[in-house]
Structure 1
């Protein structure tokens, strides 16, 4: 059991020290809970009389992110609830967790606030489900024929049911009163020529103004909708890779908040986009920023905690994603306009910018970079909030590694070296399948049929349950076999869904939710 002790040197500190020791000589060593009063002979003998406190070798420090530590080789394995105790069997302990604990009030407050960054990010990823939802459409009526009922207009001008063309008749010469009579007097024995629609009208029963309706992304321009979707995903792909390098260079805190600022600015600008080209360009930028926010906030969350809490907090960090689906459905239902929805979903991200000044940097990133003064301030605040008492001069144990003991520089190409190649390829295949199922179902909920708002609430509820259950699976059941089984179930559900007749709406939705549930694991 590792314990913190108060060390009080009793001999002359100027005497020659043993090679490899920080300080050698006679010490009085007492548990940290007694350190406030120091060593007193009336308290009984100290735990040690003569001891050398050695610094761990630089080779052993690499697992601690470049930090140094002081250790005592003690036979005392009793736990002490009043001292900073770290279980010796916890392989994820490091020098920082020894001073602030694995998870306390300080970590809870900041991990809770950081998980809120997933809400605006999910909004921007998922909003296209409503902003570009499929709607019924037909050739637009000329201005002077607007009073003609839509059903009558469609039956007479598009008798074949085609949505992209209409009968070639002199509409400019017709009147609203004589419209039906003109078609009744026509010679139907000869087929009339079909011409492409000059403009389109859209059904506003379920959705109001959408991106598809405003920019006319139907018929020969329908393929542009796929490109619009790709714009966001292309930006997200670049952000997921580039944000890691940027945060390593400039820190988690400022990288996160910088991209949150870009996300908020771009989100508001999207609501003012007047052309499809501008809209697509802004979607690329917000895709990059949103994925960067998601990745860096997750990294910061897991670097604020340690031990098994990294698993629990890391999984719970994505719980707001599922909740955001339900919130997005509510916003879309009450707004019914893509621009208004865009403004509303950007507000939460803009509000989160207010914590920039108080947000702490990752203590483990500071340790790796050797920024000890900043690290000490964070540890002081965290320890005070968590109720830990720090030994005097503890910052000496936080010194960064010297140049000779610096860690070897690695790159992404190391993942494809022979000893890592199999694992890398397996994970690429696994993630490709998971992302394909997850985003394939999530971003195309409107294509399942039924009520899109109800489908979204159902999908969010299913995902919330899956996230919570995955904690039990990871901690209690393990990953390897269960991951394989869950992927098989998700894949079979998605395959079977393609063979279900169109009339069986709830069967299709149920299979989609099963695929989403198990695909999330």
Structure 2
């Protein structure tokens, strides 16, 4: 396709490829990224497990034993003695209330928790400790699994029904789902309602990122794609601060629901992506949106008939994918269309290589970023510290991503980020567990590098795929990120149980493999977005 017939050229001539309208739109849709960040790691503090021990049995209350007298002690690896948090001594009491015998240790029937500093968490309310401790990992894994499915569905649905339509409906249901979580009456209900919330959040985050990058030109696309993600890390900090000011996980969930309330109003007047409308053959509506953008940017109103002719020329230049082939696709069911889009991601050699490399890099980003954030309380510091550091490091990563992607380009930045991530992960193998703050510092350096790479890779994934497959490609990529997040607690539990340095070794190896895979990706900085699979096949590496 010639540059003159491309959508980018038409956008620049008619409405401007960057201006006040695009900046206002970015500010409006960024609330979706804040919500995604606020809820993504809320479980770190909502399921935080405070110090605990067996609650004193009612039969021992008349004896007025010293605190913990019925708790056995154990020797830790560093030689210190501490009370067993999961067992109590098998104490016999006579009918007269006298202590008869103390023998062996039995599992706790009930638990007593230290409410400082986390208050009443999910782990406290439903006693997710000792034998039930694996359920804590299940809380985050089920949520991330739901987000994984939500990313896949929202990407496919927005390619069929439109970016704005899917985002608006999801924004309408998100605050309802978040408020419903607050009233969960059991752990099962809590898991189910959080899974529903996890399904809905990507519907706004994925679709609005794609929409915001489709309404700007190539020069501004990198900045917009990365700045859109800035509120995500601000959401982590917001969650930590809100958790410090609340006494229960329900209060925290209620506070996190508040920012979702205005989102449907902000999106109601948001126009559909003109690029998507063009791809669906809805030229009159695409012209309306371009006229709106031109007006918002202070440009003279374009001639309507000429604009429609130019849009028709763009559509013809995009070939069969946006012509008869697209019309045929429009007549299929949305499910068949979505499945067809997924298959198209692997239909040709170049598309297959790009899809596999991109998806692997995103999976590794999710595995390491969420793995470090979730494991930070065990490396050193509290759950609050983990979230604050993760959010602060993420904001620094935004600066790094903007500078590196602007100077080096997308592919070199992803490669460098992978190599730099591997170094501190490998260094963790040489730092013993007792040096907790040194390990936390190395982990945060790795988190900084992987976050910078993830910001660029998220933007990258909106540029690598053609228009008709863009939301599907980005949705599958976001799904891979969440799959990494689902695997993170399992890797930490399984590998960490075998050897304390094993998770760091896994992270380092995966980061190196991601850097190697990035060599298969083409550079997209300053290029127009591809409109068809043929455009991708013609790209030079």
Q: Is the 8 A contact 1:208 1:337 kept in 2?
A: yes
Counterparts of 1:222-241 in structure 2, within 5 Å, are 222-241=133-152
Q: Secondary structure at the match of 2:178?
A: helix
Deviation (angstroms), 1:334: 0.5
Counterparts of 1:177-216 in structure 2, within 5 Å, are 182=99, 192-216=103-127
1:168 aligns with 2:90: yes
1:450 aligns with 2:381: yes
Q: Is the 8 A contact 2:240 2:384 kept in 1?
A: yes
Closer/same/farther in 2, CA of residues 241 and 387 from structure 1, 3 Å limit: same
Deviation (angstroms), 1:92: 7.5
Name the CA distance, whole Å, in 2 between partners of 1:338 and 1:203: 15
Q: Secondary structure at the match of 1:153?
A: coil
Q: Which shows bigger deviation, 480-489 or 268-277?
A: 480-489
Aligned partner of 2:24 among 85, 88, 109: 109
Deviation (angstroms), 1:148: 9.0
Counterparts of 1:366-445 in structure 2, within 5 Å, are 366-392=277-303, 393-397=305-309, 398-399=311-312, 401=315, 405-406=323-324, 411-416=341-346, 417-445=348-376
Deviation (angstroms), 1:224: 1.7
Q: Secondary structure at the match of 2:106?
A: strand
Deviation (angstroms), 1:261: 2.1
Q: Is the 8 A contact 2:48 2:383 kept in 1?
A: no
Deviation (angstroms), 1:100: 0.8
Larger Cα Rg: Structure 1 or Structure 2? 1
Deviation (angstroms), 1:162: 2.4
Counterparts of 1:254-403 in structure 2, within 5 Å, are 254-392=165-303, 393-397=305-309, 398-399=311-312, 401=315
Q: Which shows bigger deviation, 338-347 or 498-507?
A: 498-507
Aligned partner of 1:459 among 381, 386, 390: 390
Q: Is the 8 A contact 1:140 1:200 kept in 2?
A: yes
Compute the RMSD of aligned alpha carbons. Answer: 2.7
1:495 aligns with 2:495: no
Deviation (angstroms), 1:479: 3.5
Name the CA distance, whole Å, in 2 between partners of 1:502 and 1:469: 30
Counterparts of 1:9-88 in structure 2, within 5 Å, are 60=1
Name the CA distance, whole Å, in 2 between partners of 1:371 and 1:146: 76
User: 1:104-146: CA deviations, max 9, x gaps?
Assistant: 1111101111112111121111110100012111111245867
Name the CA distance, whole Å, in 1 between partners of 2:94 and 2:57: 8
Name the CA distance, whole Å, in 1 between partners of 2:411 and 2:25: 31
Q: Is the 8 A contact 1:331 1:341 kept in 2?
A: yes
Residue of structure 2 equivalent to 1:252: 163
Aligned partner of 2:70 among 128, 153, 156: 156
Name the CA distance, whole Å, in 2 between partners of 1:197 and 1:292: 43
Name the CA distance, whole Å, in 2 between partners of 1:431 and 1:383: 35
User: Which stretches of structure 1, 4 residues or more, deviate above 4 A after TM superposition?
Assistant: 143-150, 171-175, 400-404, 407-410
Closer/same/farther in 2, CA of residues 273 and 323 from structure 1, 3 Å limit: same
Q: Secondary structure at the match of 2:56?
A: coil
Name the CA distance, whole Å, in 2 between partners of 1:373 and 1:437: 45
Q: Is the 8 A contact 1:332 1:341 kept in 2?
A: yes
Aligned partner of 2:53 among 117, 138, 148: 138
Q: Secondary structure at the match of 1:513?
A: helix
Q: Which has the higher contact order (CA 8 A, sep 6+)?
A: 2
Q: Is the 8 A contact 1:102 1:306 kept in 2?
A: yes
Q: Secondary structure at the match of 2:261?
A: helix
Closer/same/farther in 2, CA of residues 235 and 245 from structure 1, 3 Å limit: same
Name the CA distance, whole Å, in 2 between partners of 1:380 and 1:425: 38
Q: Is the 8 A contact 1:96 1:363 kept in 2?
A: no
Q: Secondary structure at the match of 2:88?
A: strand
Q: Is the 8 A contact 2:34 2:231 kept in 1?
A: yes
Deviation (angstroms), 1:413: 2.3
Q: Secondary structure at the match of 1:321?
A: helix
Residue of structure 1 equivalent to 2:490: none
Name the CA distance, whole Å, in 2 between partners of 1:256 and 1:148: 62
Q: Which runs of 5+ in 2 are unaligned?
A: 75-82, 330-339, 454-541
Deviation (angstroms), 1:407: 5.0
Name the CA distance, whole Å, in 2 between partners of 1:149 and 1:384: 79
Q: Which runs of 5+ in 1 are unaligned?
A: 1-59, 70-90
Q: Secondary structure at the match of 2:394?
A: helix
Deviation (angstroms), 1:490: 1.0
Q: Give the TM-score normalised by the residue count of structure 1.
A: 0.75
User: 1:165-214: CA deviations, max 9, x gaps?
Assistant: 21122469687xx8xxx4xxx67xxx703222111121111110111111
Relative to total residues, which structure has the larger helix share, 1 or 2? Answer: 2
Q: Secondary structure at the match of 1:167?
A: strand
1:517 aligns with 2:432: no
Name the CA distance, whole Å, in 2 between partners of 1:208 and 1:334: 10
